[in-house]
Amino acid sequence: LISNFINQNKLVNKKAIEIGCARGDVLEIINEAGMKSYGLEYSSNSVSHGKSLGRNITKSFIGDSKKIKNGPFQAFFCFNFFEHMPDPQLFIKTVYNNLSDKGVGLITVPNLDYLIKTKSFYEFVADHLSYFTTDTLKFAFESNKFNVLECFLINNDNDILIKVQK
């Protein structure tokens, strides 16, 4: 998925940020696919662990400042973290302002329609502050100046994947 996204968007040798990168495991995949990866993570333990493995992670919460260290980026990734944001619009605006022109993003979130359909009430947890359908996820990015390139269901319809461009 990541490698195809990088190749399709001609991102080899470009810079990418993963927001909510935890220990930075995906940063390794981004690097192996040909990009220079940076991570943004708030957990001190995760940042320390990732840095001990040589990963380029900054301890910060998106929206704490208008400028993300090492930006602007040509791409961003956010895997099942966006739903944890207390202010999704601030998240999107901050990302937008730290991308280069025509910068692209790949985001995944749990699929609210699936959770309701399957009565997966255990997925409604305190740290999930927002829930999205494909329509509401598209709207969130489109109403903040992004073009939605693709939006579809993955993981047996459990998650939504959206690809966006500045």
Whole-prediction pTM: 0.95
Angle at 56 between CA 50 and CA 57, to 5 degrees: 65
For residue 150, what are the CA distances in angstroms to 108, 121, 166? 12, 28, 13
Res 122: pLDDT: 87
Res 65: pLDDT: 84
**Share of residues in the chain with pLDDT > 70 (%):** 100
Is 12's pLDDT higher than 90? yes
The predicted-structure confidence for 67-107, as pLDDT tens digits, reads as follows 999 999 999 999 999 999 999 999 999 999 999 999 999 99
- What DSSP state is assigned to residue 80? S
56, 38 contact by CB (below 8 A): yes
Res 49: pLDDT: 97
Average pLDDT over residues 139-157: 98
Q: How confident is the model at residue 35 (pLDDT cuts 50, 70, 90)?
A: very high
49, 39 contact by CB (below 8 A): no
Rounded CA-CA distance 3/23 in Å is 20
Tokens of 109: 């979130």
